[in-house]
Amino acid sequence: MSEMKTYVGSCHCGKVRFEVKTTLDKLMSCNCSICSRMGWLLAFAPAEQFTLLSGADSLTDYQFGKKHIHHVFCSTCGVRSFGHGAGPDGKESYAVNARCLEGVDLEGVPVTSFDGKSL
């Protein structure tokens, strides 16, 4: 199991920057309509382990379906580096696109498939 580390991530233009404390021992690939189109590889963290460093004023919120998840994206470059909503336990959690983390080699990290299309 990977150790808990703090990673820095950003959108493409750099306006939206964040830190997240998580492990990258496994990632999730979801086949729902938005995740599959965006090519997300997801890592998760509770809200207290996520800090938005900059760009709150550059984020646009998109919600669909049951409107439980905030699919935020940079209004300048359009990159969706993270999203947030209530987890299965009801607590606020963040889904981070691991492809937006700086200095991380994702080669060899196991990826679990999730059938979000069926929800």
What residue has token string 């808990």?
4
pLDDT at 89: 85
What are the tens digits of pLDDT across the range 61-88?
Answer: 988 877 778 889 999 999 999 999 987 7
pLDDT band at 118 (very low <50, low <70, confident <90, very high): confident
Q: What is the CATH number of the domain that holds 10?
A: 2.170.150.70
Q: How many domains does the chain have?
A: 1
Say if residue 11's pLDDT is above 90: yes
Taking the C-alpha atoms of residue 48 and residue 26, their distance in angstroms, rounded to an integer, is 20
pLDDT band at 33 (very low <50, low <70, confident <90, very high): confident
Range of the domain at 61: 5-106
pLDDT band at 96 (very low <50, low <70, confident <90, very high): very high
